[in-house]
Structure 1
Amino acid sequence: MKVGLIVEGHGEVASVPILLRRILQELAPALNPVVLPPHRVPRGQLVKEEGLQRAVEFMARKVGDDGRILILLDADDDLPCVLGPRLLTKAREHRPDRDISVVVAKREYEAWFLVAAESLRGRRGLPGDLAPPPAPEEVRDAKGWLSHHMVDGYSETIDQPALTSLFDLTTARRAGSFDKLFREVERLLGLAVTPPPAPVEPDGGS
């Protein structure tokens, strides 16, 4: 089985295969699909029907009849619950013969790092007492938040893949859009869909 990835950002080209393999290692270590190199399409093109169809057609040919396609992009100021279903409908209308999923990260991919910020303490120049901001998925500039807290600033192409290999996946599932990614990977690969982790109550101290 081949899995084709369609992404919008330069950082995601390196990051999403890492993330998918980490999720698979946790869910089904014995499963070993062929993860194809991501096909990057600028967001401005990907959210338009013609650009989306071109990307889906390209990847549909790559993965073959039994392949799967995962489309991942940032919501920015759009609502994931609106943008995601709209793109999914158009993608499936174009290639109903392929199993396709669309996941829209609320605001930014980097918001998932903010949700799991405690698991990144002391890594990649982040402080040892790093804590997530209130409502991490509502932060308008997650990249800027990370850059502010990192000694040498944040580089999407360098730090995004590195942090993707480090952040705690279970904690990140507290973010609705990341939990959606987990569930879509399970669905695409025919695995039992697992419930999200129970929310952790704040300690009320620090």
Structure 2
Amino acid sequence: MSRSFCIAPIVEGHGEVQSVPILLRRFAERFVPGDRLVLNPALRVKSASFTNDTNYFRKYVELAARKAKQQPSSCVLILLDCEDACPRALGPALLERATSCRPDVTTIVVLAHREFETWFATAARSLRRVCGLPAELEPPENPESLRDAKGWLSRQMGQPYNAPEHQARFTEAFSFDEAMVNRSFARGFKKLRFFLAGMNR
């Protein structure tokens, strides 16, 4: 029996506003192909304000929660770059704060270490020939240690990486299986699967 579920994302960049819906649709098509994803437009926040300003944080969590509650099976997804922050500390702290704001709504926190684009670098082979990337492209030796994944992509493409232009195209094309060796992607992947498994009980 087909079911509907809703995800209300909170993201930090113009590129993520376009690419996170693509990521979530791909995820839903892979793991719950018979169900209908109701995807609210992503809310874009300023990362520093979101993580450090209590009122700002509450405002956007409340907005996302109200949108999510329009469906009985729903969650708020907070997806941010963690940059140099420790994801093991920041992730649980954000989850605790969001849950205290809206305990009636499931919240999932996914932190890309260090950037969303690090996932692309990890899955570089699947992006060969996309947006001018080389046909023999290989991932960097340790993608999770990469401090400037956007710069790495720019060098590989031979042109400046522009998130609003390139991020959505890479999100459509990159391999989930290749990206799974990246721990932050694997953790986010696991959290979303756990939510979907609970929804379908």
Tell me, yes or no, whether TM beats 0.5.
yes
Alignment partner of 1:68: what SS?
A: strand
User: Out of 11, 14, 29, which is 1:10 matched to?
Assistant: 14
User: Out of 134, 141, 153, which is 2:160 matched to?
Assistant: 153
Q: Deviations over 1:132-171 (max 9, x none)?
A: 1111011000000001111332111110000000000111
Distance 2:133 2:45 in 1: 30
Report if aligned partners of 1:100, 1:188 keep a CA contact under 8 Å in 2.
Answer: no
Distance 1:22 1:191 in 2: 19
Alignment partner of 1:15: what SS?
A: helix
Distance 1:14 1:56 in 2: 20
Aligned twin of 2:63: 58
TM-score with structure 1 setting the length:
0.89
TM-score with structure 2 setting the length:
0.92
Q: Does 1:20 align with 2:24?
A: yes
Distance 2:97 2:69 in 1: 19
Unaligned runs of 5+ in 2: none
Distance 1:184 1:70 in 2: 10
Aligned twin of 1:185: 192
- Which residues of 2 match residues 4-153 of structure 1 at below 5 A? 4-48=8-52, 49-64=54-69, 66=72, 67-153=74-160
Count of residues in correspondence between the two structures: 192
Instruction: Say if 1:93 and 1:178 are closer, same or farther in 2 by CA, change over 3 A.
Output: same
Report if aligned partners of 2:28, 2:37 keep a CA contact under 8 Å in 1.
Answer: no
**Greater mean deviation of Cα atoms: 181-190 or 50-59:** 181-190
Residue type of the alignment partner of 2:61: V
Alignment partner of 1:189: what SS?
A: helix
Extract structure 1 runs of 4+ deviating beyond 4 A.
Answer: none
Residue type of the alignment partner of 1:166: A
Aligned twin of 1:173: 180
Alignment partner of 2:76: what SS?
A: strand
Displacement, 1:187? 2.0
Superposition RMSD in Å: 1.3
Distance 1:101 1:165 in 2: 22
Distance 1:21 1:137 in 2: 25
Alignment partner of 2:197: what SS?
A: coil
Residue type of the alignment partner of 1:31: D
Displacement, 1:186? 1.4
Displacement, 1:189? 2.3
Residue type of the alignment partner of 1:168: S
Residue type of the alignment partner of 1:142: A
Unaligned runs of 5+ in 1: 193-206
Displacement, 1:68? 1.0
% identical equivalent positions: 42
Instruction: Say if 1:59 and 1:183 are closer, same or farther in 2 by CA, change over 3 A.
Output: same
**Greater mean deviation of Cα atoms: 146-155 or 3-12:** 146-155
